[in-house]
Structure 1
Amino acid sequence: MYSSCSFRKSRVNQAEVIPFTKKEYDSLRNVMLNVNLKSNKISELVNKLLKETDGVINPNELAKRQNLLVLYYLKVNDYEKADILLDKIQDYYKENKKWAEYVTLSKIRCISLRGRKKYTEMEIVLKEAIEISERENVKPYDLLPLHELSVFYSYDLGKHQEGIKYGKLFFNELEDFHSTKETQKVYDSIKRYTIDVLNLTMGKSYIQVNDLENAYKHLKLAEKEFVEENDVKKIIRVYANFIEYYLKTGELEKVKDVKTKYLNYNSELNNFLITSNKKIAEDNINLMKEEREGLVVKEENKRRMLIIGSLGTFLLLVIIFQRYFLKLKYEKERIHLALEKEQEFKKFRASLFINIAHEIRTPLSLILGYIDLSEDQSINESELEKYLIEIKRKSNKIISNISDIISLLKEDKKEEDVKLENVIIEPFLQQLFFSFESVAKIKSIELNYNVELPTNYSLKTNLNKLESLISNLVSNAIKFSPKNSTITFTAFLEGDLFHIHVKDEGSGISKENQKHIFSKFYQEEKLGKSEGFGIGLAIVKDIVDTLQGNISVESEEGKGAIFKVEFPVINQEENKEREIITKKIKNEKNGVITLSESVFNKGSKLLIVEDNPYMIDYYEKILSKFFRCDFAFNGEEGLEKLSNKEYDLIISDVMMPKMNGIEFRKNMKNLSINKRAPFIMVTALGYEENKIEAFNIGIDDYIVKPFSKKELIARINCLIENKQKREEWVQSSDEVEKEIETFEERNLRELQELILENIHREDFSVAELAERVNFSQRQLERITKKLTGLTPVKFVLEIRLQEAYKKIKNKEEADVNNVRYSIGMKSASYFSVKFKERFGISPSELLKDG
């Protein structure tokens, strides 16, 4: 085997090595890969290679020997020596532009990196190899990094989409080789076994991304080849993936069949291990016999039998434990699968409850609000009647919503027996459409009614369901349309179909969302956004299906949407006389917004950001008597108003289109004015985590729908009063001296000076402060609360935070930590939280902005 590696002495006394032929090199490489480390072959070969590398002249021959040594060092986990040689080989290939060899070496480099879990470096090496392959056209060797990268993403990182991507590239490249010669070259270079391993990898990855059709195809290919090769270990892996595949498809009988195959092959593997161990034991016994031939005695035989018995017992225990752990593995997989299903159900349930809360709590808030307004003794009978009508209408809306939700949730609901009646349809459509006139006026929306039907046309339909359908479509159109836009309602006959179109000029619906908007409880997955469509369009779809019609949507983002509904005409007599009925309403500026502006001369100034026109109408009724109110229909409009006017307090909903309440509050910190105005969040989401997130971004109060009028007004007054007292105290603290100073004000100034004198002390307490000014803690609390609205503890904290703000703003310290220590606050997290609660911006952000 090694005859070709013999030495010849050169003229300069340097050993020259005879070059390897390809056959010799492949043979030696195979020995290095497959022979046991304890074999004398490996030892002899390594010594031979080490001697030859010292004297070899030809750099190409040197690289071949270094390649073989790298394989040995990786076998014995000597990564340091392997890396040194890999760097030398790689530099040689790069300098001499041997790109095929360079790309091939990337696979060996990855074996070294994988052994140390250096996954980031693995990814860099393989992607570099792929780039070189594309640039230098080193086919078929470009398949090696593609194969390795696919396996790397799937098995090492669990990034199954990436694994599939590079696996597909591998198979696409493979298909490019058409001739027999090239195909054979690929198989010689890459080996059939590599393709089979990739089929197994792709099968596993497709299962993880739920592409079960492709998973099955690749697993069947892998199964076929590994069964033919009788590679038991790989067959076991194939069937383990098939078990997961059939669990996902729900084919439990096939799970049992595959499980049986899995256990049979596993048993075969165990039998092989037992046979191997038995052979080792027999070899050891024979060795012992040879060593002690002629000296065997009865006691020695007993000892040997004891060894064999112990070995047999050990092997039996190995089999028992292996099967036990296999059982545990299956149990773990079953539990994991059950947990995944439970998590998916919990996610769906949470989404469902949020949608239901948002759909019901707003009309419930309005009902309670109108009840409060009805109890006011100063209202006249017409106003009372109006409020009672609204209460009834909203109550019916909630009952209808609940019925629709129950209907949608019934997976096994039977076909509904819908009662149809002949109705002269045009007056009904006109009355229903213009019932939204008052709501449209709030947003200055023009209602355009355009119906072309025969005179006194009678349609056979179910009025209740038709009313629910149209109401949902029109209310959605109003909700998602901007101010000063137009909503057009169209109805006409065409052939045997009755058509209804509702067109708006809103922000439109993306192509992706158009696929899902009629699905149950679909909502765009962005926290707090009402860009999704909740249950409204799912109800519409359910009604259309019940009436045996069709619904579709045409929309482009930024260009509005048209919802088109068509119903089959049932047993109608043809009437060729037609009447074009057209009515347009253009809203003049005499609605709620103008009323609010007309009273913009009393009390504190409020900005109310709310997308629901009914809620805006209610806010105007209850708040305009006490405050100067201004309105915005989403966060973007709110920011625009905040940048131009100063407000004493802001109220905002969470779920709004374009910019939700959370994003609106976060963006306020970038404004020069109003960024510290008290902020009340009003929402249908009452979960603890929603409150925590809201408080973390600096809101002052959180009100969950439904709420009472008195509660809302009380909270507004409290926040405005605290703001005014805080501003008065801050203003007074900046004055150097006053001409007239009361006894309590002198005490307050003395307290402030004393706190500033000891501000660097973390242990400076309220008890010590009271003692230093000769007050009891109770007297101290009375003075600070009277003059500042704050308790002594909050008063000390306020001075610390004010001092920190000045130091950061004026850049008096090098960093935030120095500021924190200078004001006596050692806890970084506590300081950051309190600072952000107080000023609506973190210390680090203020330092950066300043």
Structure 2
Amino acid sequence: MCISFLGCKLEKNTSSKVEIQPLTKNRYDSLRNIIFNRLEPQKGFEVFYMLEKETKQLDDRDELLKRYKLMLWYYIISSDYREGDAIIEKLKTYYKEQDKWSDFMMLSKMICIYYRGRGRNEEMEAVLKEAIDIANENSQVYPYDLLPIHELSVFYTYDVGKHKEAVKYGELFFDKIKMYDTIKSRRRVFDSIKDENVHILSLTLGRSYTELNKLDKAYPYLEYAEKSFEELHNVGVLTRVYSNFIDYYLKKQDLDKLNYYKNKYLAFSQSNNDSLLSTRQKISETNLKLVASEKKVLLEGEENKIKILIIAILGTLLLLIVIFQRFFLKLKYENESIHLALAKEQEFKKFRASLFINIAHEIRTPLSLILGYIDLSADKTISKVELRKYLKEIRKKSNKVISNVSDIISLLKEDKKEEQIELENILIEPVLQQLFFSFEAMAEIKEISLNYKAKLPKDFSLLTNLKKLESLVNNLVGNAIKFSPKGSTVSLITLVKNNSLHIKVEDQGKGIRDEDLEHIFSKFYQEESNGGFEGFGIGLAIVKDIVEVLNGKISVKSKLDKGTVFNVEFPLDGFETNELIVVSKKSLVKQKNDSKKRIVDNLFNKKNKLLIVEDNAYMIDYYKKLLSKLYNCDYVFNGREALEKLKNVRYDLVISDVMMPEMDGIELRREMKKLSEYEYLPFIMVTALDYEENKLEAYNLGIDDYIAKPFNKNELIVRINRLIENRKQREVWIKDIERNDEKIETYDEKTMKNIQNVILTNLDKEDFTVAHLAQLVNFSQRQLERIIKNLTGLTPVKFILEVRLQEAYKKIKNKEEIDVNNIRYSVGFKSASYFSVKFKERFGMSPSELLRKRK
């Protein structure tokens, strides 16, 4: 007779059928305890054998499932993984079919323990996540849904070291505990799960937060774990608690606490060893008594000698254990110290590399402008007015480079001498107004309004240093404009209040995070959330130095997505307030006239349309002078604005910087690859990052050209023209290929079609060359090169490569093969790596990525 259970057929032995006792809770628990008692493996095996025999005779599914669970426990305890997989599948299938989701939650914990023993981490993670997803859809699983959440947090901490994920699920566990504390149903089960898991998960979260360097969050959990396990007298786990505290205080660099827990750890270990010695001594004494009773001929003195010898041996063994423990613990601490030193060294190297890259970026940009304006000045067709304007820009940018270098040198000096400055009485209001509105051109480029307001006594003067004051205002206003969005307002407000002169610079930018506010005046500090690398972190450090030299104070207030206010305060000793005069002036952004814009668009409708992505206002001004006469250009200040433009306007080419706020050039290109209409749009990167790894990253994303600053203007224009021309020729050629042959073909079209057919016929031949092609179409190689170049803009070699790649793309897209290698051979590529590289350069993704995308 045969029965079917969950898709598995089991032979049912009816001839030897015996009466089977139901598994009550007490009997189930009793059998499980026998299985768990590994000191008597024979009894455990006997229980397992009985259960296995009963499963072959049972009809009752519930009884059958109970036995399968006990058998799975046996496999887990005995580390016997031969048959466990089949039982797991039976249990999972049954619980899902019968909607027994609470049982499924408990099973997920058992499966987790089973897979951990085999090192099957991916399967363990999948089972626990599946259980959590099921729990989210079924509210009736309370409180068993806590089990997979607990296990997943422990898994991420100790099995794979993904501490962010561990914290996510650990905090979810405690959130649910707080919520379930208010529920009265199933209280006993909830309390049992809570008591068993809260202590372990506290230790887990303490560990993960320590690894993430979030020490303030780690401490409460470690403290709770220590208190809990000391109350429970759990020897094994307490050792881990003290070890985690050692790691915690090592990161915190608190030597006193580190030594405290180190000594506690050692004392605790020694106490355990003393306990072990006591146990061994009792065993030895018992053995000696047995020997004395069996062999009465031995003298009492000899017995004592044996006891002493055994105790001496055990004492020596204990001493060796303690010595080795101390040695290895010391070795561990030394290794930790070395790792800490290495981490600091790596952090310093990273900072140093970032500093030099940012310095290069900041200096290369004005150098590009200087060389660019020199090129423009060399043009004999420009007027004297334009020449003077360009020379003025060259001088201004040269002074900017000199000023940047001087500031860097000044800030890098550790042993600064006290600076001697000359003070003079300066009429402050006209100076501030002139400095503020010197940024009018930069603000106009970014479409930012300037708002100036002064409330000062008539002819008010301040004892200060003019050069220092200029540097202070230039840095604050320049930063405000740089990080303010298009269409916003930057304000400079000055007034006398509480016997002090206040100079405030306000912007409407995205603000500064609270955790960054305390660091913004530090040398070379850059806000991580900025999304870009503009500047190199010296502007506000310079401001702080200037304020301190002039005996003033500076403060900052900021709200995210609202803006930032810098307030500089200079004391006025013995100042008497006279009649106040208010000076107010606004520089509004000129509103563009729509009708005029349409006329301009019409004038340029025959020109190629370019999108320039650059966050430096002066660089945009130079691009306007260089490119506006040749192309119809739009300008945006970061990658995010560029994406918005691309969704609404069609462009022939994009020029982008790399280092920008909001979204950098690399990320912009990556996002453009996701838009089918812009996937192959010509893209030029113009950047100060002239490093091989940056170029490789950019080319792997499918950019067409990479130009390092400073660059030659003629070279940029030639590259733009060539890329646009190549793209248009390629589009024409692709359209010709896809177009139906219903119309009359020209001689060129027939020739091109014949050449393409010959290539397709020989496509699978990896050694098919231009010489073979020329012979088969009855042209010389020079004739063939001229024909293909005129019709496609490509050389014959590149044209053959293009046909191979296009054919490979079609085969993958149409799912003609399931193996990329078959497609590779069918289009004539012998080398898998060469095929992958060329395919990715052409289509922006590897063949295997496209194949997965099409599945």
Normalized against structure 1, the TM-score is what? 0.74
What amino acid does structure 1 have at the position aligned with 2:128? E
State the alpha-carbon separation in 2 of the partners of residues 73 and 545 from structure 1: 73
**Paired residue secondary structure (2:503):** strand
Does residue 392 (structure 1) correspond to residue 395 (structure 2)? The answer is yes
Does 380-389 or 814-823 show the bigger shift? 814-823
State the alpha-carbon separation in 1 of the partners of residues 727 and 232 from structure 2: 81
Give the Å deviation of 1:331: 5.5
1:715 — aligned with what? 719
Does residue 617 (structure 1) correspond to residue 636 (structure 2)? The answer is no
State the alpha-carbon separation in 2 of the partners of residues 253 and 366 from structure 1: 57
State the alpha-carbon separation in 1 of the partners of residues 92 and 833 from structure 2: 50
Give the Å deviation of 1:101: 8.7
CA contact (8 A) 1:596 1:630 kept: no
CA contact (8 A) 2:442 2:618 kept: yes
Deviations 1:213-262 (A, max 9, x none): 55455545555666687765444333332332232122346545644554
**Paired residue secondary structure (2:766):** coil
Does 770-779 or 71-80 show the bigger shift? 770-779
What amino acid does structure 2 have at the position aligned with 1:563? V
What amino acid does structure 2 have at the position aligned with 1:245? Y
What amino acid does structure 2 have at the position aligned with 1:500? I
State the alpha-carbon separation in 2 of the partners of residues 771 and 255 from structure 1: 82
1:632 — aligned with what? 635
**Paired residue secondary structure (2:711):** coil
State the alpha-carbon separation in 1 of the partners of residues 515 and 272 from structure 2: 52
2:375 — aligned with what? 372
State the alpha-carbon separation in 2 of the partners of residues 614 and 739 from structure 1: 51
Does residue 251 (structure 1) correspond to residue 244 (structure 2)? The answer is no
1:584 — aligned with what? 586
Structure 1: which 5+ residue stretches go unaligned?
A: 1-11, 295-309
Deviations 1:316-347 (A, max 9, x none): 99999988876765565444444433443344
State the alpha-carbon separation in 2 of the partners of residues 133 and 481 from structure 1: 48
State the alpha-carbon separation in 2 of the partners of residues 409 and 790 from structure 1: 53
Instruction: Go from structure 1 to structure 2 and tell me whether the alpha carbon gap of 1:670 and 1:823 turns closer, same or farther (over 3 Å shift).
Output: same
Residue from 654, 657, 680 that aligns with 2:684: 680
**Paired residue secondary structure (1:551):** strand
Give the Å deviation of 1:780: 6.3
What amino acid does structure 1 have at the position aligned with 2:708? V
Residue from 562, 571, 574 that aligns with 2:573: 571
State the alpha-carbon separation in 2 of the partners of residues 113 and 80 from structure 1: 12
State the alpha-carbon separation in 2 of the partners of residues 338 and 489 from structure 1: 46
1:112 — aligned with what? 114
Task: Work out the number of aligned pairs and report it.
Answer: 809
State the alpha-carbon separation in 2 of the partners of residues 123 and 206 from structure 1: 22
Does residue 363 (structure 1) correspond to residue 353 (structure 2)? The answer is no
2:76 — aligned with what? 74
The equivalences for 1:28-427 within 5 A come to: 32-34=35-37, 36-38=39-41, 42=44, 71-78=73-80, 107-108=109-110, 110-116=112-118, 117=120, 118-120=123-125, 123-124=128-129, 127=132, 135=140, 148=151, 150-161=153-164, 163-164=166-167, 189=192, 197-213=200-216, 215-219=218-222, 222-223=225-226, 233-252=236-255, 255=258, 258-259=261-262, 262-263=265-266, 266=269, 332-376=335-379, 382-406=385-409, 420-427=423-430
2:436 — aligned with what? 433
**Paired residue secondary structure (1:361):** helix
Does 77-86 or 315-324 show the bigger shift? 315-324
Give the Å deviation of 1:395: 2.7
Does 776-785 or 689-698 show the bigger shift? 776-785
Does 442-451 or 45-54 show the bigger shift? 45-54
The equivalences for 1:394-793 within 5 A come to: 394-406=397-409, 420-481=423-484, 486-504=489-507, 508-509=510-511, 515=517, 518=520, 520=522, 521=524, 523=526, 529=532, 535-537=538-540, 539-540=542-543, 543-544=546-547, 548-555=552-559, 557=561, 561-571=563-573, 573-586=575-588, 600=604, 606-624=610-628, 627-634=630-637, 635=639, 638=642, 649-657=653-661, 659-666=663-670, 668=672, 676=680, 678-720=682-724, 722=726, 754-770=758-774, 772=776, 790-793=794-797
CA contact (8 A) 1:17 1:56 kept: no
CA contact (8 A) 2:552 2:571 kept: no
Instruction: Go from structure 1 to structure 2 and tell me whether the alpha carbon gap of 1:416 and 1:759 turns closer, same or farther (over 3 Å shift).
Output: same
Give the Å deviation of 1:424: 0.8
Does 464-473 or 186-195 show the bigger shift? 186-195
**Paired residue secondary structure (1:492):** strand
State the alpha-carbon separation in 1 of the partners of residues 55 and 732 from structure 2: 87
CA contact (8 A) 1:355 1:535 kept: no
Instruction: Go from structure 1 to structure 2 and tell me whether the alpha carbon gap of 1:75 and 1:700 turns closer, same or farther (over 3 Å shift).
Output: closer
State the alpha-carbon separation in 2 of the partners of residues 243 and 515 from structure 1: 32
State the alpha-carbon separation in 2 of the partners of residues 838 and 83 from structure 1: 46
State the alpha-carbon separation in 2 of the partners of residues 48 and 806 from structure 1: 62
CA contact (8 A) 1:161 1:205 kept: yes
Give the Å deviation of 1:68: 6.3
What amino acid does structure 1 have at the position aligned with 2:158? Y
State the alpha-carbon separation in 2 of the partners of residues 383 and 455 from structure 1: 40
State the alpha-carbon separation in 1 of the partners of residues 456 and 124 from structure 2: 70
State the alpha-carbon separation in 2 of the partners of residues 340 and 318 from structure 1: 32
CA contact (8 A) 1:528 1:662 kept: no
Structure 2: which 5+ residue stretches go unaligned?
A: 1-16, 298-312
CA contact (8 A) 2:613 2:635 kept: yes
What amino acid does structure 2 have at the position aligned with 1:123? L
Give the Å deviation of 1:847: 12
State the alpha-carbon separation in 2 of the partners of residues 186 and 416 from structure 1: 73
Give the Å deviation of 1:426: 0.9
Instruction: Go from structure 1 to structure 2 and tell me whether the alpha carbon gap of 1:77 and 1:602 turns closer, same or farther (over 3 Å shift).
Output: closer
State the alpha-carbon separation in 1 of the partners of residues 618 and 457 from structure 2: 35
State the alpha-carbon separation in 2 of the partners of residues 698 and 43 from structure 1: 64
CA contact (8 A) 2:435 2:470 kept: yes
Give the Å deviation of 1:681: 1.0
**Paired residue secondary structure (2:454):** strand
What amino acid does structure 2 have at the position aligned with 1:678? P
What amino acid does structure 2 have at the position aligned with 1:423? I
Indicate the percent of aligned positions where both proteins have the same amino acid: 53
Instruction: Go from structure 1 to structure 2 and tell me whether the alpha carbon gap of 1:517 and 1:363 turns closer, same or farther (over 3 Å shift).
Output: farther
Instruction: Go from structure 1 to structure 2 and tell me whether the alpha carbon gap of 1:800 and 1:665 turns closer, same or farther (over 3 Å shift).
Output: same
State the alpha-carbon separation in 2 of the partners of residues 653 and 830 from structure 1: 30
Instruction: Go from structure 1 to structure 2 and tell me whether the alpha carbon gap of 1:106 and 1:622 turns closer, same or farther (over 3 Å shift).
Output: closer
What amino acid does structure 2 have at the position aligned with 1:120? E
Does 467-476 or 720-729 show the bigger shift? 720-729
2:309 — aligned with what? none
**Paired residue secondary structure (1:77):** coil
Normalized against structure 2, the TM-score is what? 0.73
Does 375-384 or 628-637 show the bigger shift? 375-384
**Paired residue secondary structure (1:372):** helix
Deviations 1:277-307 (A, max 9, x none): 899999999999999999xxxxxxxxxxxxx
